[in-house]
Chains A and B, each alone.
Chain A
Amino acid sequence: MNAMKAAITAAVTDIVYRSCLYLDNGNWGEFLNLCDDSMIYSIKAYSVEIRRDMEYLSHNKKELGTLTEMLPKLNSDHSPLRRHASVYTVDIGEDGETATAVTSLAVYQNMHDGINSHIDSGETRLFLVGKYLDKFKISGESALLIEREVRLDTRRLDKGTHHLI
């Protein structure tokens, strides 16, 4: 791997991990700063029940901004989500202007509300597992997210969430 490829790989990996930290902390603005203006975010899953690929959520960058700004107006579960991610692969396009990354993802929920907060608060439960399938725009040795597909394995999502995954 030449130095440029190594630098791009490091930049892509850094963005994936930073995105996890920002999303964990509800630092939506910082997350959006990792995204190009053309960013498309989606949550998808394949249903073995209806044997179809499904899209659970889809937004562009502007809509993501609106969505996150709206969160204080919505009644939501107070239990924060915590991501554990491992960047499995980073592939740089032949033109050197794009890259893709596959990241294994587990999202835990640290119970605040739970079913009965008196009992459940402090417990950590597995919320979902899946992958981040990310695409990046490369400029020199820096990268910006242009597409994130959260590909879920988990489809029993119980109460769900208002938050980005």
Chain B
Amino acid sequence: MSAKNHKQWKIPAFEQGDYVDSRIYSDQNIFDEEQDKIFKQVWIPVCHESELPEAYDFRTTSIAKEPIIVVRGKDNEVRAFLNVCPHRGMRIERRTAGSFSDGQPSGNPKHMTCMFHAWQFDMKGNCVDIPRAKEGYQDRLTKENVGLRRLRCEVRFGGFVWVTLNDKVEQDLEAWADGAFECIRSAIDTEPLEVFHYHKAIIDSNYKLWHDTNSEFYHDYMHYHNRVTGFNDEYFARTNKGFKNGHVNVNSFTVQYGEFELGESREDLSFPGFPPNQWYMIDLFPGMNFNLRGSALRCDIVTPLGPNKVMIEFRGLGLKSDSQKDRKTRIEHHNSIWGPFGRNLHEDLLGITGQGASMQTGSEPRRILHGRHENNLIHDEIGMRHFYDEWSKWMGRNPSDPMDEQRKVLAAE
């Protein structure tokens, strides 16, 4: 049979679990649930410690619409708080990054100051000054009664700063990752890393479609670069490995960078204990990607903005100890593939843009397949299936039947 009507098209010879219903990418209610049930509950990397290298440096970000500020105290500890003043709910710091070493128009040096009414806080989130507190609040409220909303925060896995909005998170970060980072642990944890690249993309597509793309290698057919540098026996022998909590990693092979016209071997520059020209990939639930390839580490962090809108922040990292020459080489290697003008990233983003265009809210529900089974080898779509098993647990929905329609029909029969 060739082309199919809607009913025929919806029934491939696949079991549930080998496809998802496209409404998980487009339904507003599902999106809102994901924010509450997943993103407000789990560990999310929000920045890298090298973005706040000095005491009193800060970085602002957000998780599930909650504004967050990460600061480094004079004790060198990195802490995270809601970036919200307990007085009138004003966002305390409006800049994306900077230092509190200098004073602000409403506040003193070395303090976080809400510009609105000049409440001031130290780097541990303690309120240290409320203007004319005694006159206004008598003894009903003192600075000791208020402070910033503290968030659980860890610096781990190559120096990334991880935050959770969940005060009662059941697993610490190490347990949450369940060993997914072990394949690159010595490479990223032997000595400090440093961010050298940052850019962002806001794409009209669902955040899971980006994570899907990072979780499957079958789309390497889209990339001329990957076809010429990769498609060989060693590449097709790579395997996907699932971990608890929906994480997956993909083991390495030797990339033949020299096969690409603008390629250059990464043989002379790598990471501690990391063999040259290798490529490991870690996909962390619910949408973070760590990609150690040759001489550069890439990290993608998604911030879902709507069922059909996602912001993706891209970072590139090398070693803090890099010589100027080595850093330049890492940057060139990174950007030739992964920069906004590089060979691969543009193509990946075209891919999810096209998916977003065909899966807008209200579009005909479709079955989106991830049913390739190849003994967990590189083009096996086990990574996506593993992710959606976990998604199902958090959401209480079957991704193949998210509205419970098929189950109800079967029950009625």
Q: What residues make up the interface of A, taking CB atoms closer than 8 Å to B?
A: 43, 45, 47-52, 54-59, 63, 66-67, 69-70, 73-77, 113, 115-116, 155-163, 165
Contact A161:B51 (CB < 8 A) given known A57-B335, A63-B262, A67-B262: no
B335 near A75 with CB under 8 A, answer no
Taken together as a complex, chains A and B put the C-alpha atoms of A48 and B59 apart, in Å, by: 10
> Which residues of A have CB within 8 Å of B139?
none
Q: Can you give 21 A-B contacts (C-beta < 8 A)?
A: A48-B96, A48-B97, A49-B59, A49-B96, A50-B97, A51-B51, A55-B328, A55-B331, A56-B197, A57-B339, A74-B347, A75-B347, A75-B350, A76-B347, A155-B200, A158-B203, A160-B339, A160-B345, A161-B340, A162-B343, A163-B341
> Which residues of A have CB within 8 Å of B222?
75
Mark each residue of chain B from 340 to 382: 1 if its CB lies under 8 Å from any CB of chain A, else 0: 1111011101100100110000000000000000000000000
Contact A52:B341 (CB < 8 A) given known A70-B261, A115-B204: no
Taken together as a complex, chains A and B put the C-alpha atoms of A89 and B27 apart, in Å, by: 52
Taken together as a complex, chains A and B put the C-alpha atoms of A77 and B346 apart, in Å, by: 8
A156 near B347 with CB under 8 A, answer no
Mark each residue of chain B from 235 to 263: 1 if its CB lies under 8 Å from any CB of chain A, else 0: 00000000000000000000000000110
- Beyond contacts A56-B341, A58-B332, A162-B343: 4 other A-B pairs, Cβ-Cβ < 8 A, are A43-B341, A58-B331, A155-B199, A156-B200
Residue of B nearest to A163 (CB): B341
Number of A-B contacts (CB under 8 A): 112
B346 near A161 with CB under 8 A, answer yes
Q: Separation in Å of the B172 CB from the closest CB of chain A?
A: 27
Contact A50:B198 (CB < 8 A) given known A70-B262, A73-B224, A116-B357: yes
> Which residues of A have CB within 8 Å of B341?
43, 56-57, 160-163, 165
B201 near A158 with CB under 8 A, answer yes
> Which residues in window 45-66 of B have CB below 8 A to A?
50-51, 59
A159 near B331 with CB under 8 A, answer no
B195 near A50 with CB under 8 A, answer yes
Taken together as a complex, chains A and B put the C-alpha atoms of A161 and B347 apart, in Å, by: 9
Taken together as a complex, chains A and B put the C-alpha atoms of A137 and B342 apart, in Å, by: 29
Taken together as a complex, chains A and B put the C-alpha atoms of A131 and B336 apart, in Å, by: 22
Taken together as a complex, chains A and B put the C-alpha atoms of A50 and B222 apart, in Å, by: 31
Binding site secondary structure of chain B? mixed
Give the contacting residue for B202; candidates A51, A66, A76, A158; CB below 8 A: A158
With an 8 A cutoff between CB atoms, is B196 at the interface? yes
Taken together as a complex, chains A and B put the C-alpha atoms of A165 and B339 apart, in Å, by: 14
Contact A160:B201 (CB < 8 A) given known A56-B335, A67-B262: yes
B51 near A49 with CB under 8 A, answer yes
Q: Separation in Å of the B394 CB from the closest CB of chain A?
A: 29
Residue of B nearest to A157 (CB): B340
Q: What residues make up the interface of B, taking CB atoms closer than 8 Å to A?
A: 50-51, 59, 95-98, 195-204, 222, 224, 261-262, 315, 328, 331-332, 335-336, 339-343, 345-347, 349-350, 353, 356-357
B199 near A56 with CB under 8 A, answer yes
Contact A56:B340 (CB < 8 A) given known A75-B222, A115-B357, A158-B201: yes
> Which residues of A have CB within 8 Å of B261?
66, 69-70
> Which residues of B have CB within 8 Å of A50?
50-51, 97, 195, 198, 315
A159 near B199 with CB under 8 A, answer no
> Which residues of A have CB within 8 Å of B328?
55
Contact A156:B201 (CB < 8 A) given known A50-B97, A56-B340, A57-B335: yes
Q: Separation in Å of the B83 CB from the closest CB of chain A?
A: 15
Taken together as a complex, chains A and B put the C-alpha atoms of A158 and B205 apart, in Å, by: 12
A157 near B97 with CB under 8 A, answer no
Contact A115:B356 (CB < 8 A) given known A156-B201, A160-B340: yes
Q: Separation in Å of the A39 CB from the closest CB of chain B?
A: 16
Q: Separation in Å of the A165 CB from the closest CB of chain B?
A: 7
A115 near B198 with CB under 8 A, answer no
Q: Separation in Å of the A79 CB from the closest CB of chain B?
A: 11
Residue of B nearest to A159 (CB): B349
Taken together as a complex, chains A and B put the C-alpha atoms of A45 and B357 apart, in Å, by: 30
B203 near A159 with CB under 8 A, answer yes
Q: Separation in Å of the B263 CB from the closest CB of chain A?
A: 10
> Which residues of A have CB within 8 Å of B340?
56, 157, 160-161
A160 near B96 with CB under 8 A, answer no
> Which residues of A have CB within 8 Å of B346?
76-77, 159-162
Report which residue of A43, A113, A116 has the largest number of chain B beta carbons within 10 angstroms of its beta carbon: A116
> Which residues of B have CB within 8 Å of A165?
341
Taken together as a complex, chains A and B put the C-alpha atoms of A52 and B196 apart, in Å, by: 7
Give the contacting residue for B224; candidates A66, A70, A77; CB below 8 A: A70
Q: Separation in Å of the A123 CB from the closest CB of chain B?
A: 14
Give the contacting residue for B97; candidates A49, A63, A77; CB below 8 A: A49
